[in-house]
Amino acid sequence: MSVLDMLTGNLNSLKSEVSKIDLSSVAASMNDSAHRDYIQRDAGIEHYKLIAWIASQFQPHTVMDIGTHYGNSSLAMSLDKNAKIISYDIVEMKRLSVLPENCDYRLGDFREDPNTMNAPFIFIDVDPHDGIQEKEFHEFFISKGYRGITLWDDIYCNQAMKDWWNSISPTHEKYKKVDLTSVGHWSGTGMIVYE
């Protein structure tokens, strides 16, 4: 079964597979005890096991993390040492005591990086969660003809994000969307597959 079949099929089967992931080894790299706890929480509460599972499915390709923040997402994605991760933010991340060797942390706009169009998986969690940046990123992916899987965090965290997510057509000739909240983050995890 392909990655896409798993992500768009029976979510109970996916949750069972994702729940097997143990992130305790990468959690040890975190300076903040609260974040060490978050990263190890179950799928459906936090999304870290889900993104670790997805990232591991695309080696040797480089996958991307947009919105480094504390480093939790890139750290989860780095669990499989064969995975290669590029993590972008517009401010420097300072929360990890040890940086994973398979992560490349960069400051700047991911849209200016030619690697973006070749990444089969991109995780997006940017502040502020206002639906504006997300709309711009979605339009960027469409306009550039991106082909791959994007996972969007916090799609239900506030009205602006709900409005943005609800504005995305469930099926479109260039993409399709799937709600993965039950296996992702309690505040909403949405997948858009660009075809």
* Domains, in order of start, for the chain: 3-194 (3.40.50.150)
Residue 17 and residue 6 in contact, taking contact as beta carbons nearer than 8 Å? yes
pLDDT tens per residue across span 123-165:
999 999 999 999 999 999 999 999 999 999 999 999 999 999 9
Write out pLDDT tens, residues 55-73: 999 878 899 999 988 889 9
Looking at the chain, how many residues does it have?
A: 195
Question: pTM score, two decimals?
Answer: 0.94
pLDDT reported for residue 150: 97
Task: Give the pLDDT band of residue 170 (cuts 50, 70, 90).
Answer: confident
Residue 43 has what DSSP assignment? Answer: B
Question: Please, is 98 exposed, middle or buried when counting C-beta atoms within 10 Å of its C-beta (0-12, 13-18, 19+)?
Answer: exposed
Average pLDDT over residues 10-27: 92
**pLDDT above 90 as % of the chain:** 74
Higher pLDDT, 33 or 90: 90
Q: What is the CA radius of gyration of the chain?
A: 15
Indicate whether 78 pLDDT > 70.
yes
